[in-house]
Amino acid sequence: MKYMGKSCNTRKLLVMYFCNILGTYYFYINLMIGGIGNEGYGEIMVNGRVKCRAFSSGAHWLEHSQCSTITDLNKGDRVWVRTGSNGPYAFHGLSRFTGYVISVQF
């Protein structure tokens, strides 16, 4: 898997990775939440299960939250970020989702 970077300026962010190589992977999200009172979260999902959750309370004008996970994936597994917020413009354009393979299993 190559570097996956995605920025968003909308309420929902959807980037999906379909695993085609059996191995151990690292995934990371960094969410920038803009606007006082705008709360937001992002969850790294693997086959419909939450692996980690980043949450920002919106107490300051620009906050960031992050989470990461190391997980074993089988061929055909799916990884994506599920987001939610209380405002239509909570996510700043500097929000990122990335991942890479740590080790390949043969």
59 φ, ψ to 5°? -75, -20
- The pLDDT tens digits along the chain (106 residues) read 333 444 333 334 456 888 888 999 999 988 877 766 777 788 899 999 999 998 877 666 777 889 999 999 999 999 988 887 776 555 666 777 888 899 998 7
What domains, with CATH codes, occur in the chain?
16-104 (2.60.120.40)
Return the percent helix, strand and coil in the chain, to nearest 5: 0, 55, 45
Three-class SS state of 49? strand
| CB crowding 34-59: b at 16 or more within 10 Å, else e | bbeebbbbbbbbbeeeebbebbbebe
Q: pTM for this one?
A: 0.76
